[in-house]
């Protein structure tokens, strides 16, 4: 798994998004950020794909082309740490 296979749907004033952004920064990852408040098209993509507009949501491009979506900041942080770095939060 590479960071360029990931996109984070978020907005900056969301405290749960800030938790994920902190982990991304801590791990030094270059993950594409998709601000759903600044870009209505990104919000539409999120709702169409997941049926919900809540953030944070991590879009994961799996090998083979499948796309998986992960909600919940703690789950996203655990996934990022498992894939890219330290196991402790």
Superfamily of domain 3-84 in the CATH hierarchy: Glutaredoxin (3.40.30.10)
Q: What does the pLDDT read at residue 9?
A: 98
Bond preceding residue 4 cis, omega within 30 of 0: no
- Count of C-beta atoms within a 10 Å radius of residue 66: 8
Q: What does the pLDDT read at residue 4?
A: 86
Q: What does the pLDDT read at residue 86?
A: 61
Query: The pTM is what?
Result: 0.91
The residue extents of the domains of the chain are 3-84
Q: What does the pLDDT read at residue 81?
A: 95
Helix-helix angle 15-27:73-84, to 10 degrees: 10
Q: Could you report the per-residue pLDDT of 60-89, keeping only the tens digit for each?
A: 999 888 999 999 999 999 999 999 986 544
Q: Could you report the per-residue pLDDT of 7-65, keeping only the tens digit for each?
A: 999 999 999 999 999 999 999 999 999 999 999 999 999 999 999 999 999 999 998 88
Distances (CA, A) of 32 to 49, 87, 88: 17, 22, 23
């Amino acid at each position: 798994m590479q960071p360029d296979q990931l996109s984070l749907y978020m907005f900056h004033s969301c405290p749960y998004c800030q938790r994920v952004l902190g982990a991304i920064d801590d791990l030094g990852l270059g993950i594409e950020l998709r601000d759903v408040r600044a870009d209505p098209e990104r919000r539409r993509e999120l709702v169409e794909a997941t049926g919900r507009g809540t953030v944070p949501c991590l879009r994961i491009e799996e090998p083979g082309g499948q796309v998986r979506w992960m909600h919940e900041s703690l789950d996203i942080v655990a996934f990022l740490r498992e894939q890219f770095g330290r196991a402790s939060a």
